[in-house]
Structure 1
Amino acid sequence: MEFDYEKLVSATDGFSPSRLIGKGSHGYVYEGLLHEEHNKRHRVVAIKTPSLLSSRSQPSSLITKTEQMKKLEDEISVMSSLPYNPHVLTFLGHAEKRLMVVEFMPNGSLHQLLHVSSATTSPPTWLKRIEIALKIARAVHFLHEQDILHRDIKSDNILFDSNWEPKLADFGLAVDLADKKVPTPAGTIGYLDPCYTSPENLSAKTDVYSYGVVLLEIVSCRKAIDVSRSPASIVDWAVPLIEEGEIGEICGGGSGGRGSGVFMEANLRLLRMAARCVSSDVESRPSSGEIAAEMVACLTEPVRSLPLWVSFFRGVVKLKRRKKRLRERMTWPGQTCRVR
């Protein structure tokens, strides 16, 4: 869909700083209030502009401005080519001067949820974390099926909608393999595959590495790069612990799976998968489809593997309910039949 440029300017109060909700490597994101004439309502959207278009006071060269515009144009091209997917940020349209309109995500990023302390929020539960990991794995698998490589998977680019559903966002570095272009290596330090040193090294396994870092982040609640710790890299810290079976050291953040042998076993499977994702042996890394399947297994395993006493308790409850129903059926006016 093509939007009227002036309407988008009006929706953001002329790209007012008070409407600014995010900054990326090549674009600023504003909250916009669009009037929908067909139903006489207003719709909240996110509007992305080239950085240099929105920051008028920022000095820049003509080359830099051209690069900024080209990156956003490429992002619009990738996002507009994708069919709808519930785990990927929804593209709504664009306007002249390369403005992009996407769905508004009011609940921030996974990075904020895991690492930004708040008096009103706490780290998500273990099950919620794995649900997030599963949905993002499905998003990555969906992109790879469309021959799209994201190239910048990180917790900052996983956003939450009004229902706290996670979606993969920011396609500024995404590449469509069908275009046969060989882009210069790019990404975010801490998430960037160290094996991606030249354009020819780019593959789906590049995204898999970045996803593996996010998975370690989800399980441990530790940042991908934390200069206050040694080693600073989450990969350098976690992989040796996983190899030694010291997963308790990794799963200590928040409420992530502590105390239960069942959940610790599932965490071990998750961490082994994460270690495979960030392996220096690119060929040994799993595919995005294999990752998604393992996430499903980790979610269902605790349910299948409930302790025996839980199964016994559930059996007792069912037996009592069955006896109650029998008593109700066998009780007649003036007569009572006991069920033992």
Structure 2
Amino acid sequence: MKEFDYEKLVTATDGFSPSRLIGKGSHGYVYKGLLHEEDKRHSVVAIKTPSLSPSPSSLLFEKSEQMKKLENEINVLSSLPCSPHVLSFLGHAEKRLMVVELMPNGSLHQLLHVSTTLPPPTWLKRIEIALQIARAVHFLHGQGIVHRDIKSDNILFDWDWEPKLADFGLAAHLADEKRPPPAGTIGYLDPCYTCPENMSTKVDVYSYGVVLLEIVSGRKAIDVTRSPTSIVDWAVPLINEGKVGEICGGGSAVFVGTNLRLLRMAARCVSSDVETRPSAGEITAEIVLCLAGPLRSLPLWMSFFRGVVKLKRRRTRLRETLTWPGQTCHVR
């Protein structure tokens, strides 16, 4: 686990300038940082802090709840092997500042519910996102870790618009003898998770099911302007009645059968009968099958075109430069 010099991170963020603030998580603030490497190259990263203006003196005070969560996130991420589906951990400074890869394209929540400049993701892209996050959850569970806060806000997009699971402040090891009290986000929190002893991988499966409903329907997990306000209470009865069109608004005929399978899987994930919920591995396998159907229906030239577009994005990413005040840096 690489340890960064605190002053180096201060310089990288222009003294944690508000102009570098790019996000606020459940337990900290995220800044865009420019790290100067010894080989004269520069790396653009994200630096997470437990407060707006972290300073050495502030680190001497009794740990705040935010600081405890940030330390937990550092401990969890540093214990994980690399995965293409989880936010990459690069290091920390004094266990109070965390350095991770920059995810420049925002969150799934922003893409689905906030953005006015980007078109809604295609049906194929939605299925791909669902698959990537299912793989992330499967990976975590394989490491004996429960995320406990899976939601669309914690699914971020990298330079190539590939989604990754982030924000591990509430994550917990299943092997720990002392389990933390229930925690999570309203709308995504498993209603069956009422005491520490109830913590299991099925807690994440419930939250994933809510995200899957979001991806397919485009509706928020909790929407006070609608009735029912909960996406689960709204969608599950419709799924049981087979009213797929009312949930996903129709869509391409190629994806109707696929959406039905995804929605049935989502309904299993959010079932009140915890034992009947699928594992993350089962979810992943089912979505792979769902994705295979539409891909077989696509013309060969379209599949080739998608591959070319991805390759061009990666090449552009390698050549891309960022211009900062008074200097130019090459992005790796």
Task: Verify same fold: TM over 0.5.
Answer: yes
Deviation (angstroms), 1:25: 2.1
The aligned amino acid for 1:233 is: S
Q: Please tell me whether residue 277 in structure 1 is matched to residue 275 in structure 2.
A: no
Other-structure match for 1:149? 146
SS at match of 2:220: coil
Gaps in structure 2 of 5+ consecutive residues: 301-332
Query: Cα–Cα, structure 1 residues 10 and 135, in superposed 2: closer, same or farther, change >3 Å?
Result: same
> What value does the CA root-mean-square deviation take over the aligned residues?
2.0
279 and 5 in structure 1: CA distance in 2 versus 1, 3 angstrom threshold: same
Question: In structure 2, what is the equivalent of residue 122 of structure 1?
Answer: 119
Over the matched positions of the two proteins, sequence identity in percent amounts to: 79
Instruction: Measure how far apart 1:68 and its partner are.
Output: 2.4
Normalised by the length of structure 1, the TM-score is 0.83
Deviation of residue 218 (structure 1)?
Answer: 0.2
Tell me which residue corresponds to 1:169. 166
With a CA cutoff of 8 Å and minimum separation of 6, indicate the structure with the bigger relative contact order. 2
The answer for the alignment partner of 2:19 in structure 1 is 18
Residue pair 2:174, 2:200 contacting (<8 A) in 1 also:
no
Residue 95 (structure 1) shift: 0.7
1:42 counterpart residue number: 42
| Structure 1 pair 169–278 and aligned structure 2 pair: CA distance change class (3 A) | same
Moved over 6 A (4+): none
For this pair of structures, how many residues does the alignment match?
Answer: 296
Q: Over residues 73-99 of structure 1, what are the superposed CA-to-partner deviations in whole Å (9 max), with x where a residue is unaligned?
A: 111000000000001000000011511
Select which of 137, 140, 161 maps to 1:140. 137
Please name the residue that 2:327 is paired with.
none
Larger Rg: 1
* Shift, 1:194, TM fit: 0.5
Partner amino acid, structure 1, of 2:191: P
Are 1:196 and 1:206, in contact at CA under 8 Å, matched by a contact in 2? yes
Name the structure 1 match of 2:33: 32
Contact 1:52 1:68 in 2 (8 A): no
The corresponding residue for 1:3 is: 4
Corresponding residue SS for 1:101: strand
Contact 1:105–1:162 (Cα < 8 Å) also in 2: yes
Q: Which residue of 2 is the match for residue 80 of structure 1?
A: 78
Whole-angstrom CA distance in 2 between matches of 1:213 and 1:247: 16
Give distance in 1, aligned partners of 2:150 and 2:112: 16
The aligned amino acid for 2:251 is: R
Do the aligned residues in 2 keep the contact of 1:28 with 1:54 (CA within 8 Å)?
no
Which letter does structure 2 place at the counterpart of 1:98?
R
Q: 1:286 aligns with which of 278, 289, 301?
A: 278
Cα distance between partner residues in 2 of 1:214 and 1:292: 14
> Residues 53 and 70 of structure 1: is their aligned pair in 2 closer, same or farther, counting only changes over 3 Å?
farther
Q: Is residue 2:205 matched to residue 1:213?
A: no
Letter in 2 for 1:292: T
Q: 1:178 to 1:8 in 2, by over 3 A?
A: same
- Compute the TM-score of the two structures, normalised by the length of structure 2: 0.85
Partner Cα separation in structure 1 for residue 215 and residue 196 of structure 2: 29
Spell out, residue by residue over 1:67-123, the C-alpha distance to the aligned partner (whole angstroms, 9 max, x if none): 3222211110000000000010000000115111000000000001111131x3111
